[in-house]
Structure 1
Amino acid sequence: MINDRLIDAGELPIAVRDFGGDQPPMLLLHGAGGNLAQMTTLARALRPNHRVITVDLRGHGRSGDGAWTWDAALGDLAAVCVQMEVERPSVVGHSLGGMLAALWGQRHPESPGVVSLDGNPPPTKPEHLPGLDPEKATAELARLHAIFDQLEAMAGQVIPADQLPDLVERQQMAARDMGANEKVWIEGFRRNLVHANGETSTRPSAETTSQLRTLMNTLDLGPVYASTTCPELVVLATRDLPEQAPFAELYAAHRRYLVDQVSAASHPRYLSLADASHAMVIEQPTVLAGLITDFLGGGR
């Protein structure tokens, strides 16, 4: 039986969805701006071999708002484990969730394994873009960060009531374009809507978005990989999202950097997943479930 719960994490409530079963436990974490509903298809594919618990990270979905720090988010996950009576879970995360999985593995050597699904901080320095002329790299980074500035400015916006039906229809079209489960996609969209005082706004808020951006921009996973002792798998993208196409050279260079970074750390196993973008959780959930299950089975 699938069970939705609110966990008392002390500072705030954390929403979880328990897919049930008596297999080895797993926490499954979404990316920034997402929520647990967006991990449903992957969770279902993993359920035959794991008791999967998906989580709304703080400031997302049905979880409460609170200051975003790595320590606070990891504390939320620890509270989920205690109240769900889960011992030694594996932790699998996408994007922001993958960064949290890596940090969990660093702090929990007893973990049976952690998996990062393209959980990488964005490029912020020319040295993150090997092979690009430094002057061009600096210009491309400035252009990219201007786009991120625009996205941050739109976070937490109020949606006029008469525009909501059109937004839902556009989300349905996006799901069809991606070949995703439309019902799951729309649940993910609606789960990040907040209805209060006669207005509808989006989550995460502008404040949370700003905090997350600062945290990700300053995170260096190299030392994290090097000091982790539990089994760790890093799955990397191999192609761009459509919206990344104007920055094709930048992202190709950054993918080279990510391979170099994880190779230099020597600890994690990694693979560059064929024909996968950053949206790999939507594109290839069955393939990912097989990779994750095989990896964790070998780690136990």
Structure 2
Amino acid sequence: MKLTAREYGSGQPFLLLHGLGGDMSAWETLAPHLNGRAVAVDLRGHGQSPDGPWDWEAVLDDLDETAVHFGLDNPVVVGHSLGGILAGTWAVRHPECPAAISLDGHRSATTDPANYAGLPEEQLHADLDRLNDVFTTQEQMLTRPDRSITSVLRTAPEFLDALPVFAKVTTPFLLVLATRNLPVPPGLLPLMDAHRAGLRRDLPVVCPNVHVHEIDATHGMVVERPAEVAAVVNQFVSNRRNA
């Protein structure tokens, strides 16, 4: 599938992958700060790219075709949210990748109850029901992607918990973790804190291969702090190149 894409800059190649419901415009402010030539894409079913069923291998095929089309020789892959999970799957497929970076793409906010830490079980289940209702409402408001994609993703094991995917990555891999919560109903803030606590607990155990950098931002870090996030990416890539 031929994806719509946009280029920025020159030099070392980067492939930029947006989050669920987003498009390549998410990178407009961040991409110019990267030390290299960046190609941002609209994933299948998003932005101006064609529709197609969500299959992880097929989506990776789309990205491979895009890399070939733009002459990206072994790019650094940077993804936000869903794109960050894809960065991990790309790195598993391409162990020769010089580096892969996930910007707060790790586990769905409505993942397995065992992935939260510090909440009483009864409150945890009630809060998850409430948050699922919020996400269902948001899903119904989306024009792209359509529900053939969102419904698949909401139950996909890789989307619910990407840590087992990340554990398979052998190339240098960085997870940039947000420390602030996105706006949610006040009663759900403890659930968001428990979600982050579960990540901090599990990442060193499940993914000792993953470098973690925490940043003072919400999940919207790409738009909120583009220069700072780009600097973190540039530093990680530079350190790996000079190692």
Q: State the TM-score, normalizing by the size of structure 2.
A: 0.93
Alignment deviations for residues 127-184 of structure 1 (CA, whole Å, 9 cap, x no partner): 121111111111111111111121222233xxxxxxxxxxxxxxxxxxxxxxxxxxxx
- Contact 1:35-1:61 within 8 A present in 2 as well: yes
Alignment deviations for residues 31-84 of structure 1 (CA, whole Å, 9 cap, x no partner): 1000001111011111xx111000000001110000012111111111111111
Q: Specify the alignment match of 1:50 in structure 2.
A: 36
Confirm or deny that 1:71 pairs with 2:57.
yes
Alignment of 1:230-249 (within 5 A): 230-243=171-184, 245-249=186-190
Q: Specify the alignment match of 1:129 in structure 2.
A: 116
Equivalent residue in structure 2 for 1:207, among 148, 160, 177: 148
Q: Specify the alignment match of 1:34 in structure 2.
A: 22
Q: 1:136 and 1:246, CA in 2 relative to 1: closer, same or farther beyond 3 A?
A: closer
Return 5+ residue gaps in structure 1 as ranges. 1-8, 157-202
Q: 1:223 and 1:206, CA in 2 relative to 1: closer, same or farther beyond 3 A?
A: closer
Q: Specify the alignment match of 2:84 in structure 1.
A: 98
Q: Distance in 2 between matches of 1:107 and 1:208?
A: 22
- The answer to which of 217-226 and 288-297 deviates more is 217-226
Number of residues paired by the alignment?
239
Q: Distance in 1 between matches of 2:184 and 2:73?
A: 40
1:93 deviates by 0.5
Q: Specify the alignment match of 1:223 in structure 2.
A: 164
Could you say which structure has the larger radius of gyration?
Answer: 1
Q: Specify the alignment match of 1:251 in structure 2.
A: 192
Alignment deviations for residues 171-227 of structure 1 (CA, whole Å, 9 cap, x no partner): xxxxxxxxxxxxxxxxxxxxxxxxxxxxxxxx2223222222222675432222222
Alignment deviations for residues 5-32 of structure 1 (CA, whole Å, 9 cap, x no partner): xxxx3xxx310101142x1100011110
RMSD: 1.5
Q: State the TM-score, normalizing by the size of structure 1.
A: 0.76
- Contact 2:22-2:46 within 8 A present in 1 as well: yes
Alignment deviations for residues 273-292 of structure 1 (CA, whole Å, 9 cap, x no partner): 12x10011111111111110
Equivalent residue in structure 1 for 2:47, among 34, 39, 61: 61
Q: Distance in 2 between matches of 1:83 and 1:217?
A: 27
- Contact 2:45-2:52 within 8 A present in 1 as well: yes
Q: Specify the alignment match of 1:170 in structure 2.
A: none
Confirm or deny that 1:266 pairs with 2:208.
yes
Q: Distance in 2 between matches of 1:60 and 1:234?
A: 24
Return 5+ residue gaps in structure 2 as ranges. none
Q: 1:210 and 1:228, CA in 2 relative to 1: closer, same or farther beyond 3 A?
A: same
Equivalent residue in structure 1 for 2:66, among 76, 80, 95: 80
Q: Distance in 2 between matches of 1:210 and 1:222?
A: 21
Q: Specify the alignment match of 2:228 in structure 1.
A: 287
Q: Distance in 1 between matches of 2:238 and 2:135?
A: 38
Q: Distance in 1 between matches of 2:170 and 2:44?
A: 27
Q: Distance in 2 between matches of 1:53 and 1:76?
A: 13
